Amino acid sequence: MGKHHQNLLNNLEDLRKKAGLTQQELSEAAEVSRKSINAIENGIYVPSTVLSLKIARTLKCKVEDLFKLP
Amino acid sequence: MTYFKRFLIVFICGIVQIFYAAYLLLHLFGYSIDWHISNHDVFMFIPGILVFVSSGILCASYYLGDKKNNNILYDEYTALRYYKIAAAGYALNGIGIFVLFSIQDWANWDFQSANNMIYQIAAFAWLTFGVLLTIFSIGDYKEYKNG
């Protein structure tokens, strides 16, 4: 688990690295800015449902694998 | 549109607003400065025209620009930051207007005082949003480069 937002635990950094993607590559696949990915990984920002699903689709995992409620 | 172009557009708007608002507030509160804008009637429109043109450019780039590029430039995280800036601006302006109301000389109220108060409120709003836009533009670009 990476750094967390107070309302959301996230596992994005680990899963992204396991998929062998950089933040830039993931951001391009999910159609957002790299800083959005960075903000999510560092627990600064809670993504929308659409963005969460796009990230999960890119990393070939479930949204529940990426994010959990604290 | 690129991050750098957006930084330039927003930063220039913010700085120009700060400049004119600070000048106007100093003038209205009677702090004498040696330097004067030569033609108030014309030059005081500059911040407004800049904001109008800049908003037009940003809107055009959003609706007409490259979609893939815009997904990155105008993503939801950036939108959230804009909302926060706007909320902070409205809150600060609310406090500012309350203070400006409180310091008026209501016992000797006349049209000149009313006119001055309108200018004070306008200048304060320019100053508030000018500062916020400048901070946003710098933070946005720094995040793009390093964040």
| ipTM for the complex shown | 0.72
pTM, two decimal places: 0.78
* Residue of chain B whose alpha carbon sits nearest to that of A41: B147
CATH 1.10.260.40 describes domain A9-62: yes
User: Across the interface, do B80 and A48 touch by the CB < 8 Å criterion?
Assistant: no
Question: Computed from CA positions of residues B112, B118, B120, B126, in that sequence, does the dihedral angle turn out positive or negative?
Answer: negative
* Residue of chain B whose alpha carbon sits nearest to that of A36: B77
Domain boundaries, chain B: 3-146
Among B71, B77, B78, B80, which would you mutate to test the A interface (most chain A Cβ atoms within 10 Å of its Cβ)?
B77
- What is residue B78's DSSP assignment? H
* pLDDT of the residue at B41: 65
What is the spatial distance between Cα A5 and Cα A40, in angstroms, rounded to a whole number? 8
* Residue of chain A whose alpha carbon sits nearest to that of B145: A35
Q: Tokens in use for B68?
A: 């893939």
* Residue A67 burial class via C-beta count within 10 angstroms: exposed 0-12, middle 13-18, buried 19 and up: buried
* Residue segments in chain B with a per-residue pLDDT below the cut of 70: 32-42, 147
What is the spatial distance between Cα B139 and Cα A51, in angstroms, rounded to a whole number? 23
Q: What is the mean pLDDT of chain B?
A: 87
Q: Which of residues 7-66 of A touch B (CB under 8 A)?
A: 27-28, 31-36, 38-39, 45, 47-48, 51
